[in-house]
Each structure stands twice: as C-alpha cells, then as structure tokens.
Amino acid sequence: MPEADDEVRAPSPAVVEALLTKLWHAPVAIERWERQKPWSVARVHLKGAAAPPTAVVKWMRGYSDLGRTESWRLRLEPAALRFLADDLGLSLAPRVLAADLDAGFFVLEDLAPRVALDRLIRRDGFDAHIDRLIAFARLLGELGAATSGAVAALGARPDTLARLVSAADPLAAFPAELDEACRHAAALGTPVTSAASRELVAVVDELRAPGPFLSLTNGDAESNNVLVHASGPADARLIDFESTAFTHALLSAVCLYVPGPGWLSVGDPVATGLADHYRRALAGGVPEAQDDRRYGYGLAAACVWWAMRRLQRFGKLDGRGPGDKSRLQLVETLEAAARTANAYRALPHLAGWLCATAERLRHRWPDADLDFTDPDAFPPYSPRH
C-alpha cells in the first residue's frame, strides 16, 4: 500500500482504481501495490477485463527537505511522453495510460520484464551487456534524430508542453555552475587562462545555439534510465522524462564518454562501438552529425559542460576522507572530457586546463592518483559505490 509521509504523496488505490475504471469503462481493481523505492513509483497489479495485468503509477514527491514542490515536473513528463507517442508516433518510451495531474499522479504502461540496464551491468559486468549498451546508445541517437526540428510542433499542443520544457532547461544553472567550478580551479592553483576562458564562452554559445542539433532529450540520459530485457533481443526503452528539454542533442551522448553519477569509468566508446552506433543513429535525422568537425566540436562542448558541473562539487569532496570513490570519479571525469576534446581536436586550451586541474587533484588526493586507463584496475563501467 502507499506510504504516507511529508515527502511521499502517493495516491490512494481507490483514486487510481477510479481513474482506470473511467478510462476503460469497466471496473478495475488493484490487487497488489509494489512500491519501487526510493522513487515515487509503484507497480500495480490490476484485475479487470479491459485492464492490462500491470501498470506503473508515478506521483510527485514533496521535496520537503528542499522546501519546494516542483509540480511542473509532474506535468512535464506525461506531456513529453504523449508528444513522443501521439505527435511523433515514436515507441521509444512508455505510453501514458491515464493521468490525474490535479490529484498529483499519472499511470504508465508497464515495460516489464525489462529492467534497468545499470542493474544488469553492476550484477554481471560490462562485457556481458555490451549489446544492451549499444542498444542504449542507438536509442539516444534515434531520439535525437526523430525530434530534431520537432520543437516547432510544441505550440500546437494543448498541454503547455512548450512552457514546461523551458522550465527544465539543463543549461539554466550553467553560468553559476561555471563560476563555481572556476573558483575551485583557481583555489587549486589552475586559474582559467585567457585562451581557455574564450573557449568557455564558445562552449556556452555552442550549447545555447545548437542549430540542427536542437532536439528533445529526457534530461537524464544515464544507464539507470533505460530499460532492457535481461536476455534475448536488446530491445530498449527510455524512462524518466520529468526533466525533458529541447536542447543540444549531444548532451545526451556525454554519458557514453564521461562517467555519470553511478560510474567511476565508462571505457572507450570508440573501441566498444558505442560511439559509432550513437552517431549513425543521430545522423539519420541530423545529417550534420556526419561532419567530423561539427560533431566533434559539439561533443567536446557537451563533455566540458558536464565536467564543469562536476567540478563544482570539489568543496564537498575535499571534505571527505581518503578513499572516497567520488574523488576518483571527479579526476576521471575531468580527464575523460579532455580526452574526448583531444580526440576531435576541439577546445585544446580547455582540454589542457582540465588535465592540469585533474593533475592538481591527484596531488591533493593521493588516493585518487590512479591509472583509469588500466582495464584491469578500472574496467568499463566500474561502479561508484
């Protein structure tokens, strides 16, 4: 049954049953409610002639510890999913079955028996699921390709998706994050050079004006937000669209090159084929992705953006004890972003500055002075515990 506390605002089963009964014009009962902690999500087992065996209920968390209730997120996700399915005819994500947004919840198609890809990798290792990672990379590219130019269709929608999408702008906080990261680097002894500063301005310009690379992203392209079958065909679906935005498509590719929050390393996406699968899928709708210079510059800018966002965590990590794996992750994040820029011969001054800053962190944190390119020590997708 739903839990009741300040942060969890789960609807009652009776309210969900009433909505689904109205949807299918026939009685629907919830036989079992399985909370999927720690998320505000439950799998419900249904009984009713017109109902599927299961569905997923998602509701808004109160965020009482932050003093905010971002209700726009609850409205954004179903609006984005309906846009993909109804307007664009895409089946890359779960379908919305019903919604009562005034009551604070909506009901989604259950994608089981698919499970989160990151769970499989943690359980079995990277090598066992390379085909599923490739499916993930291809799916991200397909989403970018299919939604390139689709922003023009937003104004015709009745659910204010255009306004909601602007609320989730992933670049909104970047100027403040950039300033904070630069302050930390200066304190470490690697102030931003004038040449690197000019490149930072160019990074912001690239991400703010992506041109043909403007597309829809779910706002959190990580392996925990893609569901795949544990065996058999690598049939993938994206989930968690509560931060959906129309932004630079290559922001979604960062997770293939630079560690996300859950990993210490992601390996070499070129050697594993992830990079090529993503790029070819994106080029299906964005021909400019075939231009090495254009593509490489955008990708380097996106990776630098992520590295700068993570660098602003330096103060928090510096206060932790030796051996904290978040320190390892930060060093590799900076170096991986620099490697990506160097591979495409883009942003050379920023790449050098990121490497210099990572080197300072290695000296400051001897426990983080390790060789992340050693596949024996750090195989691809080594988890950060």
Note the pLDDT of residue 159.
64
Q: What type of residue sits at position 380? A: P
Token pair, residue 270, equals 């070129």
pLDDT of residue 68: 44
Residue closest to 354 by CA, chosen among 365, 372, 342:
342
What CATH architecture does domain 13-109 belong to? 2-Layer Sandwich (3.30)
Q: Helix or strand or coil: residue 67?
A: coil
| Cβ-count burial 317-351 (b if 16+ within 10 Å, e if not) | bbeeeeebeebbbbbbbbbbbbbbbbbbebbebbb
Q: What is the pLDDT of residue 146?
A: 96
* pLDDT in the model for residue 178: 92
Q: Where in the chain is the domain with CATH 3.90.1200.10?
A: 115-368
CATH 3.30.200.20 placement within the chain? 13-109
| pLDDT at residue 377 in the model | 85
**Torsions phi, psi for 334 (to 5 deg):** -65, -45
161-193 b/e (C-beta count within 10 Å ≥ 16 → b): beebbeebebeeebeebbebbbbbbeebebebe
Helices (H) and strands (E) in the chain, counts: 14, 10
pLDDT at site 165: 78
Q: Supply the CATH classification number for the domain 115-368.
A: 3.90.1200.10
Regions of the chain short of the pLDDT cut 50: 1, 4-7, 63-68
